[in-house]
Amino acid sequence: MAKLSDSDNLHQHISKQFDNELLDIRSRVLFLGGLVEEQIESAVKALIEGDVELANRVIKDDDKVNLMEVSIDEECTQILALRQPNARDLRLVVIVIKTIIDLERIGDEAKRIARYAIDLTNHPANYTQLIELEQLAEHVRSLLHDALNAFSRMDVDAALKVVQDDKLIDMEYESIMRKQIAHIMEDPQSTPVSLDIMWSSRSLERIGDRACNICEYVIYYAKGKIIRHISIEQVERDLQIE
């Protein structure tokens, strides 16, 4: 009897440890997400204010993002090997592996923006160009923040909202691109400036796409359904039927 109780205790103990490990990777994803949000904020600030020192810090700090991604990735593989999770726990580990890849690549985009910021100090942009870019950046950061909140609560509705909101980001991005092309054609000397603005906008637009990827993983975790490549309307219909 005592033996069984020991075994029960051991089982509970292992199960508790395992729960803690799962909680740990979730909170580390959010920490990485926070780091990446800061990188975007600093990169855009460096670009708007022509702050080379800040841009260089973003480029340097990308190493922190990379190291953290590798470390969480290794923790996930350890969990798969040692705990052999299934069902929801397995899905959690799999989506963490995918989410951190997207976060690390968002970090790469922030680094790219920091490089455009340095390049832009050679040929400053005008006020209107910067304001539009700043607005886009603000919306993209807010989208990523919402995506991370959806991840933290594994909230399907919040995740769906992010995927929908990304359409507005795409429209905003297209508008900036059109204006910059017109700008180049009117004033060819502004080409290098306009291209820096265009590349930075595209990096921001890609960050929006990656925020959506994270939300798709959240929906997969909660519903066990891969929703990539399905229209948002179809997903909402599918989820309502359940």
* Least distance between a copy of itself and beta carbon 103 (Å): 13
Which of residues 154 and 184 has its CB atom nearest to a copy of itself in the complex? 184
DSSP line for 126-193: PHHHHHHHHHHHHHHHHHHHHHHHHHHHT-HHHHHHHHHHHHHHHHHHHHHHHHHHHHHHH-GGGHHH
Binding site for a copy of itself (CB under 8 A): 63, 66-67, 69-70, 73-74, 77, 80-81, 84, 86-87, 90-91, 94, 97-98, 101, 181, 184-186, 188-189, 191-192, 195, 226, 228-229
* Short-list 107, 105, 92, 103, CA closest to 24: 92
Which of residues 53 and 188 has its CB atom nearest to a copy of itself in the complex? 188
Cα gap 61→113, rounded to integer Å: 13
Which of residues 52 and 177 has its CB atom nearest to a copy of itself in the complex? 177
* Least distance between a copy of itself and beta carbon 69 (Å): 8
Which of residues 53 and 186 has its CB atom nearest to a copy of itself in the complex? 186
* Least distance between a copy of itself and beta carbon 192 (Å): 7
Which of residues 67 and 168 has its CB atom nearest to a copy of itself in the complex? 67
Range list of H helices, the chain: 2-49, 52-83, 87-120, 127-153, 156-186, 191-223, 232-241
* Least distance between a copy of itself and beta carbon 23 (Å): 20
Sequence-separated (6 or more) residues with CB below 8 Å from residue 59: 111, 114, 115
